[in-house]
Amino acid sequence: MSNTESDGMVTFFRMIPGCPPPQRADRSAGGMLPTRAFRYCDPVTTASAFGWYVFPPFGFALHFDGTNTKWTFGDQEAWYPLGAAQFPDFARYFDEHAPRDLTGCSPPFITAFPEPGYVQIWSGLIARTKPGWSLLIRPVPNFPRSLGFELFEGIVETDTWFGPLFTNLRIRKTDVPVEFQAGMPLFHIQPIQRHLYEGRLLDDFQVVGELDDWSEADWEDYRATVVAPNLVEHKSPGKHAVKLRRRRRSA
């Protein structure tokens, strides 16, 4: 495999030994969706499967008192003040395997920002995408959200930026442990072409402000999508989802 260009849409490089590889997201949102949503709501299942799950390298916990943040991991009983902390024993491992001039340059696993309660967490991975493609980092779609923290979203241009794949979060609760479980997705990543989020494309939109401005084609589409299905005497649930699944299979 080339080290200068991704052979696939995205190539993941595992730096921390044994850290979980990304996992293709699935239409059931890891089994979290209600059965009816999984069977009949194609918008939800499509969004759930669009991307990859990224996991923490191991289980750990944070504690925020409103000013300072502490952390602990594994079977440790102590809580450690959080500034910038390495994954256990990773600095030594990195120095043993990296070029000599990069000794001491291992990235931290977890870092507390100057702003109280804001933390950056590294997945143990680096990602490289094909030219012109970036990665959208976001919370896992359609997973129950923790009340203890809130993830930020960000777009990383991973075709040119070859650095740690991380997420930033804000701790929402004080004086209680906020746990991050091994084996549960920490965040979600989705591929996106750069031109899709450039200003000139997003500035190109229109608004039809009044019903009187709708065309006959608009009314026909509304009739077929919203009204006609409800006029069927014995309407089968999930008809639109079945139609979309057939279209995907034929493609």
12-29 tens-digit pLDDT: 999 999 999 999 999 998
3 — pLDDT class (breaks 50, 70, 90): very low
Cα–Cα distances in Å, from 16 out to 25, 68, 90, 250? Answer: 22, 27, 7, 41
For residue 207, give both structure tokens.
């608004």
For residue 232, give both structure tokens.
């069927």
97 — pLDDT class (breaks 50, 70, 90): very high
Residue whose pair of structure tokens reads 């997003």 in the numeric block: 202
**Domain annotation for the chain: domains and CATH numbers:** 10-201 (2.70.40.10), 213-250 (no CATH)
pLDDT at position 155 over 50: yes
Strand ranges for the chain from DSSP E: 10-14, 23-24, 52-54, 60-64, 69-73, 80-81, 84-85, 110-112, 118-129, 133-138, 149-151, 154-156, 164-171, 177-180, 187-193
- Residue 4's pLDDT is what? 47
List CB contacts of 224: < 8 A, sequence separation 6 or more: none
Cα–Cα distances in Å, from 57 out to 51, 68, 92, 238? Answer: 19, 23, 17, 39
124-134 tens-digit pLDDT: 999 999 999 99
Q: From its phi and psi, is residue 96 left (phi > 0), alpha (psi between -120 and 50) or beta?
A: alpha
DSSP single-letter state for residue 105:
-
Decide: pTM greater than 0.75: yes
Please, are residues 183 and 19 in contact by the beta-carbon 8 Å criterion? no
75 — pLDDT class (breaks 50, 70, 90): confident
> What are the backbone dihedrals phi and psi of residue 10, each rounded to the nearest 5 degrees, phi first?
-145, 145
Percent of the chain with pLDDT over 90: 76
DSSP single-letter state for residue 230:
G
Judged by average pLDDT, the poorest of 6-10, 111-115, 237-241 is 237-241
Q: What is the mean pLDDT of the chain?
A: 91
239 — pLDDT class (breaks 50, 70, 90): low
**In b/e form, how buried is each residue of 214-250, taking b as 16+ CB within 10 angstroms?**
eeeeeeeeeeeeeeeeeeeeeeeeeeebeeeeeeeee
